[in-house]
Structure 1
Amino acid sequence: KKNATDEEIIEIAKKSGCHDFIMKLSQGYETVAGEGGGHLSGGERQRISIARAMLKDAPIVILDEATSYIDPENEAILQDAIATLVKGKTLIIIAHRLKTIADVDQIFVIHDGYVENHGTHDELLKDSPVYQELWSAAMRGEEND
């Protein structure tokens, strides 16, 4: 949104978990981050991307591994920001961490380049051998962390 007010930007930054780290930058909201986010961490760049999407207010939002660089403490903040972002919108999430998508309306399981199955998390646990295997592996990985 090209004509966003400072208040709108700060509100979105707070909702996306960006405000605190922005305020720690040398020039706060006036800091120029540069190509690719320069001195920002991967998680900070992801949160800024979410904030930009929230500010744009697009009817369709595509998130590709939106939480891949986020530590567990900040993942909940980002998930809340995403929930705010997508109210009344279509959200397409590309994810390998199944826990981040378990509550969505529809999951499409892509295997060897094809849609193997689709449905809710519970439906796929019953009907999709590929999803069952992926979910089991994800849960085993959590136990080992």
Structure 2
Amino acid sequence: VGPSGSGKTTLANLITRFFDADSGEVLVGGVNVKNIAKEDLTNAVSYVFQDSKLITGSIFDNIRLAKPDADLDEVMSALEKAQCMDIIEKFDSGVDTVIGSNGVYLSGGEAQRIAIARAILKNAPIVILDEATAFADPDNEVKIQKALNELSKSKTVIMIAHRLSTVQNANCIYVFKDGRLIEQGESGELCKQNGVFATMLENYLTSVKWKVAKEELK
């Protein structure tokens, strides 16, 4: 967690080698990522962005990008775990429905659930979630959260989040500011320190209680 521009996504990009660190090391399983074959590293990590992109093609093809040899049963299982069955059922062609150009269009929350289904099918041991619920409406957010819980089972999960409620139960919370790690620990420990995280959490909890009042015109 941390303010916008504090380095959260940059750190995640170093893990996946979207670019490399100028100094220091990023280790996965005790091995420097620079010494891991890119294909092996790609297979070890699933990445769900805040605005996941889908290809022009069928829903089935979009899911199977993660595992090209997957059969229909595997794809349907991933869709079910990702809370996508309502999406499939509303189209006459089901998983063969074409999305994108000359096809149907999905809402941001629906597209995000399809992207999570793809990650579930991939079944990589490391999952990076970069603001995965940022653009979802309330109904989709509930379904996306259930899908993320399914995706995260028995995985190492690195979650980047603005909504602090989504990280309060994390094993360890890392707080970034101006490109530096300034605090780390469980939520309770960080709150006792009365530092940056405690202030962020207080501000967050205050903001979710805000209400828009109706002003009567006289």
Fold equivalence (TM over 0.5): yes
Identity %: 44
Aligned match of 1:102: 168
Pairwise CA distance, 1:52: 0.7
Deviations 1:74-100 (A, max 9, x none): 433322322222222111111111111
Secondary structure at 1:132 match in 2: helix
The answer to whether the 8 Å contact 1:117/1:128 transfers is no
Q: What letter corresponds to residue 40 of structure 1 in structure 2?
A: L
**Is 2:70 the counterpart of 1:4?**
yes
Q: Tell me the distance in 2 between the aligned counterparts of 1:22 and 1:96.
A: 30
Q: Which runs of 4+ in 1 moved over 3 A?
A: none
TM-score by length of 1: 0.88
Note if contact 1:54-1:85 (Cα within 8 Å) is conserved in structure 2: yes
User: Which structure: larger Rg?
Assistant: 2
Aligned to 2:58: none
How far apart, CA to CA, are the structure 1 residues paired with 2:106 and 2:180? 36
Give the TM-score, by structure 2 length: 0.61
Q: What corresponds to 1:127 in structure 2?
A: 193
Matched pairs, number: 144
Contact residue 101 and residue 107 of structure 1 kept, 8 A:
yes
The CA deviation at 1:63 is 0.8
Gaps of 5+ in 2: 1-66, 212-218
Residue 26 of structure 1 deviates from its aligned partner by: 4.8
**Cα offset, 1:22, TM superposition:** 2.3
Report the more deviating stretch, 111-120 or 74-83: 74-83
Supply the RMSD in Å over aligned alpha carbons. 2.0
SS at match of 1:143: coil
- Choose 103-112 or 2-11, whichever is displaced more: 2-11
Larger RCO of the pair (alpha carbons < 8 Å, separation 6+) = 2
Please state how far the C-alpha of 1:128 moved relative to its aligned partner: 5.1
Q: Would you tell me which structure has more helix in proportion to its own residues?
A: 1
For the pair 1:62 / 2:131, whether they are aligned, the reply is: no
Q: Does 58-67 or 121-130 show the bigger shift?
A: 121-130
Return the alpha-carbon distance in structure 1 between the equivalents of residues 136 and 72 of structure 2. 26
Which residues of structure 1 form unaligned runs of 5+? none
Amino acid across the alignment from 1:91: V
Residue aligning to 2:202:
136
Aligned residue number for residue 54 of structure 2: none
Instruction: Name the aligned partner's letter for residue 86 of structure 1.
Output: S
**Deviation, structure 1 residue 117:** 0.6
